[in-house]
Each structure stands twice: as C-alpha cells, then as structure tokens.
A and B are shown apart, each in its own frame.
Chain A
Amino acid sequence: DGGITQSPKYLFRKEGQNVTLSCEQNLNHDAMYWYRQDPGQGLRLIYYSQIVNDFQKGDIAEGYSVSREKKESFPLTVTSAQKNPTAFYLCASYGAYGYTFGSGTRLTVV
C-alpha cells in the first residue's frame, strides 16, 4: 500500500545532541511537510518542500534543519539549538488526492 513511513516511533535525545527523524513516502508526491504537535495544541509547520533540492521554512523552523535529496525522502534534524524539542513530530505529503500523514515520531529529551 502507498503511504508515509516515519521512523523511529519513539526517540530519546540527550541534551546537546542532534537527532534525525526519518520520513519516507511511496506516493510519488512532490510536496512534503514537517509539523510539530505539543499537548493540547494543533500542528505547527516546521519546514516544507515542494520539489527535490528545495525547501522552505515554516512558522517554527528555528533549531531544525531538513534536506530533500530524493523525492521519496524528507528527513528532519532536530539540532541542539532547539531549546524545547520534546514533542510529537508528524510528516505529511500532498498530492492529487490530498494530504497523507505519517504515524508520527515522539521525541523526548532526557
């Protein structure tokens, strides 16, 4: 089945470490997005990419970085500059039939 795969499902990070969250899609979608979700809040846009080798900052890009070297893949790196990284991270893609979300990665700083 076509869809979006996020890994890992749970991730623990020590203070000062960078971690990378994986997002892979086999939907042949051009556009991909990363959202952050905090308890009791809606999703907030971190970064998005419309085509390979191009990406744009969203509303809360500080402390995050992305790459888009392949159409299928849009990894998100949470850097040590992100002061409050504990959250639920969701990847999405957009195509002719609308948006598809992954199942999320829960990141916790320990």
Chain B
Amino acid sequence: GENVGLHLPTLSVQEGDNSIINCAYSNSASDYFIWYKQESGKGPQFIIDIRSNMDKRQGQRVTVLLNKTVKHLSLQIAATQPGDSAVYFCAEGVTGSWGKLQFGAGTQVVVTP
C-alpha cells in the first residue's frame, strides 16, 4: 500500500505486505528527518532517522528514503504486522535550531488480516 500527503489519510495494508508512507517536507534548510510511530493515547516512538547527507537508511524491517530535490521523505515497512497499526509522523529539523521539530499531520496505518 502507498499513501501521499500531509493530511491524516488512512493507509490500509494487508498483513505481510509492504507499506509505503510518504511525507512532503517544507523547509529546504532542514538537515535531519525523523519518523515516529504513535499508538492511540500514547506518545510518539522513534522509528528511524536520516540526515540530509544520506538518501537511504535501513533499520529493522524499515527503510527511510530521502529525496532532497523534491523535498520528499518515505518510510517503507517490510512484511507489515498487526502491531504496526498506528499513526506515523515525519518530522524535520535544522541543526542548530535548538532541537525544534516540525511535524507532518500523520498517516493512519491499518493492518488487515
């Protein structure tokens, strides 16, 4: 499944399939980017981050891709599991800006059996 946009859309994906969540960031000066997962009623949990001198970074079952030319970020989740159901946010930051982050609106991922 794939979804685009900063509003809170819903991405439905079948268990075992790969998920792709997209994010368009706004600040050309942003030099680091973070993906968070948020379950209902809880605080965001760090998933993976990437700095602007990279275009790809891999973690456990997750890959983040960065395209600075079009200011686009994506999170790929391999073999999506029921526990992956949550809202996913991208956040952008600028080194030296006191650690402040700008967040996208998020994407709701629903994993169906």
Contact = CB atoms under 8 A, between A and B. Distances in A.
The finding on whether chains A and B are genuine partners in a shared complex, rather than unrelated, reads yes
Residue from A56, A58, A99 with most neighbouring chain B CB atoms (10 Å): A99
A41 B105 contact: yes
A103 interface: yes
A31 interface: yes
Interface residues of B, number: 22
B41 A106 contact: yes
Contact of A48 (B42, B49, B98): B98
Residue from A6, A43, A90, A94 with most neighbouring chain B CB atoms (10 Å): A43
A2 interface: no
Contact of A41 (B8, B42, B44, B46): B8
Interface in A39-88: 40-45, 48, 50, 56, 58
Nearest to B9: A40
Interface in B98-113: 98-101, 103-106
B106 A45 contact: no
A51 to B, nearest CB: 10
Interface in B36-80: 36, 41-46, 49
B105 A104 contact: no
A4 to B, nearest CB: 8
Given A33-B100, A48-B99, A99-B34, A42 B89 contact: yes
A56 B98 contact: yes
B27 to A, nearest CB: 13
A42 B98 contact: no
Contacts of A48: 98-100
Interface of B: 6-8, 34, 36, 41-46, 49, 89, 91, 98-101, 103-106
Closest 8 CB pairs of A and B: A42-B103, A101-B43, A94-B99, A40-B8, A43-B103, A42-B105, A103-B43, A31-B99
